[in-house]
Amino acid sequence: MRQSSKISKLTGLRAGFALFSIFALIGISGAAIAADAAPMAPAAEAKAAAPAKPKIDPAVGESLYSNGDASRGVTACITCHGPKGQSAVSSWPKLSAQHAAYTAKQLKNFKEGTRANPIMMGMSAALTEQDMQNISAYLSKQPISQGVAQNKETIALGQSIYRGGIAAKGVPACAACHSPTGAGIPAQYPLLGGQWADYTNAQLLAFREGVRKNSSQMTAIATKLSDQEMKSVADYIAGLH
C-alpha cells in the first residue's frame, strides 16, 4: 500500500511538472512570435505614410505647353509645335491627339539621350516626369490635325506598302501596328495619320541610318526600305484619317 501511495504521488508530481513545462513553452513561443511580429509595425506605418503619387493634370500641361516656366528654364512647346500641337511647319511634328503614353516616352527618351535630337534633348532637360505626363495628357485631348498626300504618282506604292508591306523584303504592313486609318494603338504604337510627310520620312531615315535608336522594331523595318519607298509611304500616311 505504501509503495502504491509513493508511486501515485510520484506520478502526480511528474504530471504536474509536465503540465508546467507545456505552459512555460507556450509562454516562450508566444513571446518569440510577438518579438518577430514587432518589427513589422514600423514598416506598415511607413507604407501607410507614403505620399500619394501626383495626379496627371492636363490643365497644368496646357500651361507648360503654351507658356513654359521661366523659373525652371522650361521653354514653351507652342513655339515650334503650334497651338494645340498642330504644327504649321513640316520640319516640326504634329503632336495633337497623339497617344499620351507615346508622347511621354519620347520626352523621356530625349531627356535620357536614348533618342538623339539636340533641340529636343535641350528642351526636355528641364522637364520632370510629372511635367511630361501633364503635357502629354493635354496634347492627347486636342483635335487631330489632318493632312493630304501630295504626290499622286506615288500614292499607289505608298498605299501598297502601308496596307500590305513588301513581302519580298520581309517588310510588314504598317497598318498592322498603326491601324488602317493611321490611328495607331494607344500605349504601343503612335498615331501617324495626318503627320507631315517630311517629318515621317525623316524619322524613317533616322531609323535606317541608326541616328534614332529608341525602337528596334522600326530600325529593323526601315533598314529594308529604299529612299523611294520611304517617301511614298510617308506621303500616303500624310493623307490618312
- Same-domain status, 178 and 222: yes
- Same-domain status, 44 and 75: no
- Same-domain status, 228 and 166: yes
pLDDT score for 164: 98
pLDDT score for 50: 65
How many domains does the structure of the chain reveal? 3
Does residue 26 belong to any structural domain of this protein? Answer: yes
User: In 3D, which of 130, 128, 117 has the Cα closest to residue 53?
Assistant: 130
CA atoms within 13 A on the CB side of 74: 21
> Which residue range is the domain that position 37 belongs to?
2-49
pLDDT score for 3: 44
Per-residue pLDDT of the chain (241 residues; tens, 9 = 90+): 444 444 344 344 344 434 334 333 334 344 443 444 445 455 555 555 667 778 999 999 999 999 999 999 999 999 999 999 999 999 999 999 999 999 999 999 999 999 999 999 999 999 999 999 999 999 999 999 999 999 999 999 999 999 999 999 999 999 999 999 999 999 889 999 999 999 999 999 999 999 999 999 999 999 999 999 999 999 999 999 9
Does residue 147 belong to any structural domain of this protein? Answer: no
Domain CATH number, residue 80: 1.10.760.10
- Same-domain status, 135 and 162: no
pLDDT score for 47: 55
- In whole angstroms, how far apart are CA 186 and each of 12, 110, 145, 177? 79, 20, 17, 10
- Same-domain status, 69 and 26: no
- Same-domain status, 200 and 234: yes
Does residue 150 belong to any structural domain of this protein? Answer: no
The residue out of 95, 112, 140 marking a domain boundary is 140
What radius of gyration, in Å, describes the C-alpha atoms of the chain? 33
Amino acid (1-letter code) at residue 107: L
- Same-domain status, 104 and 164: no
Cell, residue 60: 497644368
Does residue 205 belong to any structural domain of this protein? Answer: yes
Does residue 67 belong to any structural domain of this protein? Answer: yes
Does residue 177 belong to any structural domain of this protein? Answer: yes
Contact 122, 132 (CB under 8 A): no
- Same-domain status, 131 and 177: no
- Same-domain status, 116 and 165: no
Contact 111, 198 (CB under 8 A): no
Does residue 149 belong to any structural domain of this protein? Answer: no
- Same-domain status, 66 and 42: no
Does residue 148 belong to any structural domain of this protein? Answer: no
pLDDT score for 232: 98
This prediction's pTM: 0.79
- Same-domain status, 124 and 188: no
Cell, residue 98: 497623339
- Same-domain status, 76 and 8: no
